[in-house]
Structure 1
Amino acid sequence: MKTTLYQLHLTGRLKHMIIEVKDNVIITEWWTSKEEEDGKKQITKETVYGKNKGRSNETTDNEQAILEYERKIRKKKEEGYVENREDAILGEEIVVSSVLSQSFAPCKPISKLKKDDDPYDGEWLAERKFDGSCILLHNTGTEKIGYTRRIKPITEILSVVDEINEALDKLPEESLIIGELIAFDKEGKEDPKVLKAVTTETTTEAKARNKYNSLITEGYSFTYNVFDVIFWYGEDVTDRTFLERLELTNHFGERKIEIFTKEKAEEAKQNDWEGFILRKADDKITFTMNGKPKRKGSYKFKFIETTDCIVTKVSNGSGKHEVRFARFRLAQYEKSPFFDEPVLVDCGWAGGGRLGEENMDIITAELLEKGYKLEKTDLKEEDWFIVELEYQRR
């Protein structure tokens, strides 16, 4: 079995990838080309062995290799690879009247201002940055859909949140917005830990509804803040200025956007805000169709810094945490001087931190349901998940 895949890189080079399975070996060959001239070819071979020996779901070496081969193909297609060379060269177009593919990637805010930028020069427009979960809302004209940041449809789960339903009701046909769902405890403080119960793709609508109702009873409140507009009545509005897009988002309620000053920054610090999103009046946004978001259109000005890490291994904790996965092996993708593709770099073990016991219990239940044992174990690549680390700026 063999599959050839293509993807057009942002540099204009065409990426080629051939994935083949022979017996219990998966062979992956990849290279780039431009103007019919091929770059250096690279190849890897992975030997796969059967699993679940002696069980009803036992697989032979070859059967397991085929399963892994098919999973790799699916993953690459989610990243925007296609089987037709011409389609890759032309590029995939988003059709706002249909469900988004997982290769769609809206841009993210740039991590921090450039070295020479002065945030207090009177040109920066500031909006408070809350600590919530990124949610995209989409009205195809025939269907209303909610997605996670990674474009996983979770409409049924999000349907338990009244504030999401209100935003979807206001969303015009053939329109797509990106925003943030925020939870506040009874004291009015942001509590991002509880959001996993109503935004994770692996929960059920019934569980999410029970948790949402329970939180409301405890005095929690939720808000969905629209962050930006990508499509509006079928039109791609990413090339409009921020002020023009801001006018569109006022359809959902007026946003508090003000000139950034030192006084505002000091006030935010005293109130323990996470920070601000800074933009200039003419800033524009973008999206890609290769699963890899660009950073454009806004800047983070945060007092608490965050970074995303991939969990590749898990382990139960000690003491009261013996009953749950409470230690996580972290990794991050970094650019390589030798390869076009980023490489995965191990970052070591970390505790649960801001996940909290409840979210660790949710993760534990999900992994146990998938057949993992409550012990130190490597996760299959399809079961890797992302956590956000938080650290204080110095």
Structure 2
Amino acid sequence: MDWLPESLQPLLDWPYAPTVIQALVLVLVAVLSSWLSHKILRRVVTPLVRASPMKWDDALLVRGVYSRLAHVVPALVLYLGCAAIPGLPQVLVTVVRHVAAAYVVLTVALALGDLLDAGNDLYEGRGPHARERPIKGYLQVAKIVVFVVAFVLIVATLVDESPLLLLSGFGAMSAIMLLVFKDSILSLVASVQLASNDMLRLGDWIEIPTLGADGTVIDIALNTVKVQNWDLTITTVPTYRLVSDSFKNWRGMRESGGRRIKRALYIDQGSVRFMTAAELDALSRTAPIGDYLADMKREMEADGRPARTDLPSDDLREVTNLGTFRHYVEAYLRASTRLRQDMDLMVRHLAPEPTGLPLEIWCFTKTTIMTEYETIQADIFDHLIAILPEFGLRLFQQPGGADFTRAMAEGGKAAAQSPLP
């Protein structure tokens, strides 16, 4: 201790002074080793990793694996150095070595967790196949195993017992472990089923009405699946609920390239009637159904009668305005360039209801983009609603305030014009 200033020489009379000074020097060396390791990491390792053409080392750098391992250096300095300081109480040496060893185990476990995350990043960067078969759930199971083992080793190190002795006590805790990790175990089984049956992928549009989820899958983890709804909110769904409950996946619609339009016009049944010859002649000039009306006219003439002008026949087919409109709608859809003609296309009646006779449109658009799909659907029904009166048909609609006002005005006007008794 001759290098100490003369003002500090009296401290040498304290019997523990050399031990305390050496302990402080050890702490200083540990701090300097931490600073030096991080300095080497930033100045040497990082440039080498950036310059390397390989991708795995970049993933390790981004996830912080190297910086995690750099924290091991000061812990090792304390672990090895405290035993070399004479005069330290054996209890203190044991505590410092155990804490340093536990810290090393914890740091290595965190580095392994970051390593698994880096592996997931590399896997997801491989292309579309990785999005179809995510492995994030399996890696999270591996992280759970790593942290459980690390926890056992840390506890065994701190209490200075064999890890096997602690593991033997886990048998009695199995019921508690099953209760604590119930959701994780169920989700693990569900993740295996989802992956093996290809039930869910990143980017899929799914709909789960019971959980309020309707949007795109943005993350598939061990315990949860995140769905970004169309209003940009995010719904977190437990993974096992996707197996225990039912959900709708719209992936097949997107892969087919066509989205179905299924909507009905509710026809007022009181407006359905037979058409006269004048009405048929007027509609025959309408391009979509000109051929249909010509065929109907030839069929009626082949039966030995002209097109009806007054009352229907008892045994021969007549032309109704609803049937003519139905053929017009089908011809209109067949002529559309925005609909898939290679998929199902039909116009059909459904069972009559108190709100009218449903005339359902069933067809598929050539696009699956929502905005374009809604525009095509709106254009179709705009046209059909506008041309419906040309066939003498009316849509059923619940009467509103304007309807009652108009009816009362007309009733009052009729009462005013009627002669007094």
TM-score tier after normalising by the smaller chain length:
under 0.3
Higher strand proportion, which one?
Answer: 1
Per the normalisation by structure 2, the TM-score is 0.21
Higher helix proportion, which one?
Answer: 2
